[in-house]
């Protein structure tokens, strides 16, 4: 069956969005919003049945809600499913992760008086922290991560439309990713640039504990004589390519910047490039994979010490 038979351009395959995240972060709202955008939506389908579903006749994009309530859910099983679907050339897989701060999740459960599915007999805090720990490996694998803290349902739907609206190709979304080559290349990158040739703040004791978002670290990277030429050439290349991708019907372009540890050079370049592309009128989001890992690890440590 070719791409047109399945309701999606043959260049990309059938678009499949796996929607996941902790309970209370907005997954149900996201599923409803994607249905309004024209997706066929199914919630809480057992993971073992997903490949069989996608092998059947489907004439439009699909959004599948996945969370800890799924009958055969485990982080390992979901990662294996993501890898399996990614290898399928007939599918265009995206993992959408809805997140929110711990305080916000607790507040939402308190206001609705819902019981958490992982701790129906305990306070929501117990179930929420368990679920966050379980989903940590999935969060790192997300293609699109939306923090719903402070977002109204209307705001969340607008954000989802900017990423997943099938008919609004002029809203090309650009995501920039910093990463460490030691941990492998992020999934789904369309382009990738190596920043390891730039001066490394790691070897400066006063800068080592910071990251590329810090002014001093960013300035140290920018002071490398090769930085300006590199940055200008990559920026101009992206400004040349992005309109072409939009004209080809793409809705999302992912660009990666890698360095050794994913803390300094790649982060600084990603931050500067995001600002430059936004100033040029493009819709840009940023993901700092290794900084997210560090933040999650620090949060887990605090949870453990508190327990």
Q: pLDDT tens digits, residue range 31-50?
A: 988 988 889 999 988 888 99
d(CA 217, CA 206): 9
Q: pLDDT tens digits, residue range 50-62?
A: 998 998 888 789 9
Query: Which tokens in the block code for residue 51?
Result: 């490949």
pTM above 0.75, yes or no: no
d(CA 50, CA 42): 10
d(CA 41, CA 167): 17
Helix axes of 227-247 and 215-222: crossing angle, nearest 10 degrees = 100
What percent of the chain lies above the pLDDT cut of 70?
Answer: 88
Q: pLDDT tens digits, residue range 171-217?
A: 678 999 999 999 999 888 999 999 999 999 999 999 999 999 999 99
Yes or no: say if 273 and 230 are a contact pair by the CB < 8 Å rule.
no
Check residue 192 and give left, alpha or beta (phi > 0: left; psi -120 to 50: alpha).
Answer: beta
Q: Is the pLDDT of residue 126 over 60?
A: yes
d(CA 293, CA 183): 11
């Amino acid at each position: 069956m070719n791409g047109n038979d399945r309701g999606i351009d043959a260049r990309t395959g059938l678009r499949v969005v796996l929607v996941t995240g902790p309970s209370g972060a907005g997954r149900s709202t996201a599923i409803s919003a994607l249905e309004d955008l024209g997706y066929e939506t199914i919630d809480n389908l057992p993971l073992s049945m997903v490949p069989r579903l996608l092998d059947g006749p489907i004439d439009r994009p699909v959004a599948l809600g996945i969370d800890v309530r799924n009958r055969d859910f485990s982080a390992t099983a979901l990662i294996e499913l993501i890898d399996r679907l990614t290898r399928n050339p007939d599918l265009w897989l995206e993992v959408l992760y809805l997140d929110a701060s711990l305080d916000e999740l607790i507040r939402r459960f308190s206001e609705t008086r819902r019981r958490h599915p992982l701790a129906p007999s305990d306070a929501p805090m117990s179930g929420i922290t368990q679920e966050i720990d379980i989903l940590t490996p999935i969060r790192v694998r997300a293609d699109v991560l939306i923090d719903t803290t402070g977002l109204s349902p209307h705001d969340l739907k607008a954000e989802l439309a900017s990423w997943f609206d099938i008919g609004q190709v002029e809203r090309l979304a650009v995501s920039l990713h910093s990463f460490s080559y030691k941990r492998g290349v992020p999934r789904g990158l369309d382009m990738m640039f190596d920043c390891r040739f730039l001066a490394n703040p790691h070897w400066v004791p006063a800068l080592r504990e910071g990251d590329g978002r810090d002014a001093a670290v960013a300035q140290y990277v920018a002071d490398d004589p090769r930085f300006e030429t590199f940055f200008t050439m990559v920026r101009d290349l992206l400004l040349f390519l992005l309109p072409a991708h939009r004209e080809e019907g793409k809705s999302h372009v992912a660009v990666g910047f890698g360095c050794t540890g994913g803390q300094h050079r790649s982060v600084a370049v990603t931050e500067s490039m995001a600002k430059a592309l936004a100033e040029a009128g493009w819709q840009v989001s940023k993901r700092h994979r290794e900084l997210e890992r560090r933040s999650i690890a620090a949060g887990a440590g605090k949870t453990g010490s508190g327990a």
